[in-house]
Structure 1
Amino acid sequence: MERSYRKEAQVEMVKAGYKVEEAVSFSNIKDGDESGLRASDQLTVAEEILSRASGKGQVNRGEYVVAQIDAMMMHDIFAADVLSMLKNAGIRRLSDPSKVTVVFDHMVPSPSVSSSSHQAKARELIRYYGIDAFFEVGKGICHQVMIEENRVAPGQLVIGTDSHTTTYGALGVASSGIGSTEMAYALATGKLWFKVPESIGIALNGEFQLGVTAKDLILKLMKVVGSSEAQYRSVEFGGPSVGKLDLADRMTVANMGVEMGAKFTIFPEGPIKTLKQDANYFASHVVSLDQLVPQIAVPHHVENVVDVSEVVGIPLDQVFIGSCTNGRLGDLRLAAEVLRGKHIAKGVRLIVTPASANVMAEAAREGIIEDLVNAGAYVGGPGCGPCFGGHMGLLAPGERCLGTHNRNFRGRMGSGDAEIYLGSPLTAAASALAGAIAD
C-alpha cells in the first residue's frame, strides 16, 4: 500500500505548532516502497524495532517510515539551541517530557563565560518545558548516565544529540545520534523519520586472550568491516561468545559502531534476540576472539588500525583514560592494575576522567583513584574530559596523545598538528609507564 511518509511527517510538524515554512524539510524522503518484501518472515532486530515503533506490521529495508520515539537525550552543547528553536516557533509544550533526558557533560565544569551563559539558558528552558530528568554538572557522561539511570530499555527506539548514542545498543536498543533540527521535531511530535537500514550480522566465537579487551575487538572491526560496508546499516552481534561480553564491554563496542558508519549497533538483551537464523542480512562475519591481539588506531582516522606491536616505541606527550568509550569502572581497574606501585614516565601527562559519579565513587572505595594519583595521574571529575577538544587536556602543535576514547581525527583534541592514537585502557596505562606506545 502506498503511503507518503513525507506528507505525514509534515502534517505532524504543523500539528505541533510549526508554520509550514518553518517545518523541517523532508525533500529527500521517498514514499514507502513495498518492493523489498521478502519471503522470510524473520526480521532483523532493526526491522523488528522499527516495525513496532512505526505501527506497521512489517517494515522493509530501504523503506522510509515515521516512528514513535521511546526516549530522547540531549547534552549541554545542544540543549539550549534545540529548546530555543521550539520556543521561537511558538511551541509551548513537548510531546512527552517524561521521555526526555538532559545531561551536562561536555563543557564541565564550564571553562568560559560564554559556555556558562549557554548552560544557564539551557537550564532556564529545561525548567520551562518541565523536563525532570535533568542531570547537572558532575553526574557523568550522557551515555553512561542514561544506562545507569535506567532511561533506556531493550527493544526501544532512542535518539540523542550525540553521535555516540549508538552506545545504548549494548542493551538491545536501536539508538542513533541525530541533529538539532531533527531533535526539535521529535520533541514536538514524539516521532521521527527513519530509513529502514540493512543489517550486518557479526557472530563472536572463542574468548579474549590475556591483555585483549573489547576495545581491541571494535578496533579490529573498524579495520575489517569499516565504513565501506557498515555505512547506514544496523550492526547486530550474536554467536556463542556474545554472552561473554559484559555490559561494559558491549557499551564499548556499541559506542564505536558509529565510527564504522553504523546507524544502529545492537547486542542481544532480554527479549531482543540477534542473528536470527532466517533473517536476511546484507553481510555476515565470524570473529574468533581468541585470535585477537591488542589493536591501535593511528593518525588520523579511526579505520587506520594496526597491531600495537607494529608501533611500539613511538614517544608520547599525553595519555588519556576515560570517555564514554572506556571510562567505566572495569576500565579504571585495568589501568590501576598496570600502574599500581609504579610511576608514569617523566615528560608524559596522564589524564583520567571517570565516566560517571557512580564510577568515580566506587573507584575511590576500591582504592583505584589513590593508585592512579600515586602513579602520577591527574584524575578529573566525571565528564567527557579532553575527548572532544573542548577543554581539560588539549594538545599543542606537534604533541602526541594515546587515548581510550573514540576518535582521532586531525584537530579532535586541540591542534590540527597534533597526533592521536586510540587503544585500550591496558595499552594506555602501559604506554604511560613507558613514555611511548607499549604492548
Structure 2
Amino acid sequence: MGMTMAEKILASHSGRESVSPGEYVTAEIDVMMGNDITFADACRNLVDIGLTSFADPDKVVVCNDHRIPAMTARDAELQTRLREYAAQFGVKYFYDAGVGIEHTVLPEKGHAHPGHLIIGADSHTTTYGALAAAATGMGASELAYSMYKGSNWFQVPETINFVLEGDLAAGVSSKDVMLALLGKHTADKAQYMSIEFTGSGAAAMSVEARMTMSNIGVEMGAKFAMFAADDKTIAYLATRTDAKIEHFGPDADAVYVETHHMDCANLEPQVAFPHNPDNVKSISEVGDVPVQQAFIGSCTNSRTEDLERAAVILRGRKVAPGTRLLVIPSSQEVMMNVTKSGVLNDLVQAGAMIAPPGCGPCGGGSTGVLGAGENGIASTNRNFKGRMGSPDAFNHLASPETVAASAIEGKIADPRKYLN
C-alpha cells in the first residue's frame, strides 16, 4: 500500500519503512521555528528547569516579526529577551525586526525543503507545505521540548486529497480557491488531517500562490497542507539553498480518506464575511458593503506576486475618499523587489500607506488596527471578532486583487472589471 506525502515524511523521520493513519511515532525534526511571541517563552520554559542548550541550534530559526516596530515598552522588552535568548542558546538563524514575516522569510532563506518535517510555534507554519514539507504549528511548550530533544511525537494523520482542475480566470487567484474550499467544506473539515492539493490546477500555480493555499490550510483544521515538489519548487529553491532538491510527492497508490474535485475555471473572486474564514460568498453575492480600510499584507498574501497583482488594479487610479489603503510587504526581499520594479511607486501613487515588513495589524499587534464600527477588507487569513482591532469592527477576507479594487471604490468590489 502506498503512502501520502505526510505518511512518507513521518515514516522516514521516525526510522520506519511505512506508517499508517492513527499510529503514533517519535520523529526527528528538520527545522524548529519561533517568533517574538513564542520563542522567549519556550526558552524560559527550559531555563526554569535548568536546561541551557538545544539538541542542534542550527535547526532553530527565529523571526522577530509580529509586534514590530515595537508599539509598547512591553513589546520592546520582550524583543530584548528574544535577542538575549537567541544569543544564549547559540541560534545561528536569527532574523530581527524588519527582515520580514517568518512564513515568507523561512522559505526565502532556504530553510524549507521537500520532504522536511518542520514545526513552528505559530499556527500558519503549514505554509511550508507549498514546498512539499510536512509543516505544522505547535505551542511554545512543544517548541521548547522539540528544541531540547530534536524530536517530538506525532500521530499519523489521515489525508484529504483536493483535486484542483482548470485554469483560473484573470482576477481570480489561489486565495479565492482556498476561500471557496473553506466556504464549501467549513473550518473543521480537516481537523488533525493532512491536506494534499493535486491536479492540473495545483500544478499550474506558482510557488507563491501555493504558499497562500498551504497557509490557509490550517483554517480548515489541517495538520499539514501540502503540494508535491515539481520543477517550479526546484527552481524556487535553486538560488536559496545548496542542498540538492528533488521531486517529491505521494505514491501513485496512496490512500486518501476523502477526495474532492474543484473546477477552478469557473470560480469567481471570493470574500469571507465576519467573523469566520468559512463564512464565504462569491463576489456576485456580496452586495453593497462599504469599507473604511483595505489592507494588503500578512503571511498569506503580501509576497512579490501578490503586490504585483494588486498594482495592476491600482495603477493610474486612486484610493476612494474616506477609505485608507495599507500595504505591508512581507519581507525585505519583497520590499526590494517591488521597489526595483516600480510596483511600490504604483501603490504609493494610488494613495497607499506603506509600512515596514512584518505582521502589521493582522493579529492586532501593530500598525493599522480597525476601530469600533469600521469595516475592513484584508488579504489576511483570519477575521475573528476583535482579532484586528476593536471587537466591534468587521473584517472581510479576500485576495490582493479584490482588496485593491475595494480600496478604489470604497466598498467591496470585483477586481475583474479593472482587467478588461
| TM bracket, shorter-chain basis | over 0.9
Q: Structure 2: which 5+ residue stretches go unaligned? A: 231-245, 415-420
Count of aligned residue pairs for this structure pair: 399
Q: Distance in 2 between matches of 1:276 and 1:303?
A: 31
| Larger gyration radius, structure 1 or structure 2 | 1
Shift of 1:273: 4.3
Shift of 1:241: 3.0
Q: Report 1:70-89 matches (<5 A).
A: 70-89=30-49
Letter in 2 for 1:120: T
Q: Counterpart in 1 of 2:368?
A: 393
- Is 1:203 the counterpart of 2:163? The answer is yes
Q: Distance in 1 between matches of 2:400 and 2:373?
A: 23
Letter in 2 for 1:300: H
Shift of 1:362: 1.0
Q: Distance in 2 between matches of 1:233 and 1:221?
A: 15
**Of 387, 392, 415, which aligns to 1:417?**
392
Native 8 Å contact 1:172 1:272 kept in 2 = no
Native 8 Å contact 2:115 2:248 kept in 1 = no
Q: Counterpart in 1 of 2:237?
A: none
Native 8 Å contact 1:237 1:274 kept in 2 = no
- Is 1:56 the counterpart of 2:16? The answer is yes
Letter in 2 for 1:227: A
Native 8 Å contact 1:237 1:275 kept in 2 = no
Q: Deviation digits for residues 382-404 of structure 1, max 9, x if unmatched?
A: 11111111120111111110000
Q: Counterpart in 2 of 1:151?
A: 111
**Of 233, 237, 243, which aligns to 2:203?**
243
Letter in 1 for 2:362: C
- Alpha-carbon RMSD across the aligned residues, in angstroms, is 1.1
Q: Counterpart in 2 of 1:319?
A: 294
Q: Counterpart in 2 of 1:36?
A: none
Q: Counterpart in 2 of 1:111?
A: 71
**Of 375, 379, 384, which aligns to 1:404?**
379
**Of 257, 263, 281, which aligns to 1:282?**
257
Native 8 Å contact 2:22 2:158 kept in 1 = yes
- Is 1:225 the counterpart of 2:185? The answer is yes
Shift of 1:79: 1.3
Letter in 2 for 1:152: A
- Is 1:352 the counterpart of 2:327? The answer is yes
Letter in 2 for 1:105: D
- Is 1:69 the counterpart of 2:44? The answer is no
Q: Distance in 1 between matches of 2:124 and 2:201?
A: 24
**Of 85, 95, 99, which aligns to 2:55?**
95
Letter in 1 for 2:95: F
Shift of 1:240: 2.6
Secondary structure of 2:389 counterpart: coil
Letter in 2 for 1:304: N
Shift of 1:435: 0.3
Native 8 Å contact 2:212 2:300 kept in 1 = yes
Q: Deviation digits for residues 169-224 of structure 1, max 9, x if unmatched?
A: 00000000000110110011001111110000111211001111010000011112
Shift of 1:313: 2.1
Native 8 Å contact 2:165 2:200 kept in 1 = yes
Greater CA deviation, 57-66 or 180-189? Answer: 57-66
Q: Report 1:243-392 matches (<5 A).
A: 243-270=203-230, 271=246, 273-274=248-249, 276-392=251-367
Q: Counterpart in 1 of 2:241?
A: none
Structure 1 residues 340 and 73: CA distance shift in structure 2, 3 A: same
Secondary structure of 2:307 counterpart: helix
Secondary structure of 1:241 counterpart: helix
Structure 1 residues 331 and 363: CA distance shift in structure 2, 3 A: same
Q: Structure 1: which 5+ residue stretches go unaligned? A: 1-39
Shift of 1:106: 0.5
Q: Distance in 2 between matches of 1:391 and 1:125?
A: 23
Letter in 2 for 1:267: F
Shift of 1:272: 5.2
Secondary structure of 2:180 counterpart: helix
Native 8 Å contact 2:318 2:408 kept in 1 = yes
Q: Distance in 2 between matches of 1:260 and 1:272?
A: 27
Native 8 Å contact 1:239 1:275 kept in 2 = no
Shift of 1:63: 1.0
Q: Distance in 2 between matches of 1:79 and 1:242?
A: 34
Letter in 1 for 2:316: G
Native 8 Å contact 2:114 2:248 kept in 1 = no
Secondary structure of 2:300 counterpart: helix
Q: Percent sequence identity over matched residues? A: 45
Q: Distance in 1 between matches of 2:30 and 2:247?
A: 16
Q: Distance in 2 between matches of 1:242 and 1:316?
A: 32
Q: Counterpart in 1 of 2:127?
A: 167
- Is 1:182 the counterpart of 2:182? The answer is no
Letter in 2 for 1:322: G
Native 8 Å contact 2:3 2:250 kept in 1 = no
* Structure possessing the higher relative contact order (Cα contacts under 8 Å, 6 or more residues apart): 2
Q: Distance in 1 between matches of 2:250 and 2:81?
A: 45
Secondary structure of 1:67 counterpart: strand
Native 8 Å contact 1:238 1:275 kept in 2 = no
- Is 1:431 the counterpart of 2:392? The answer is no
Q: Distance in 2 between matches of 1:259 and 1:306?
A: 16
Q: Distance in 2 between matches of 1:143 and 1:321?
A: 16
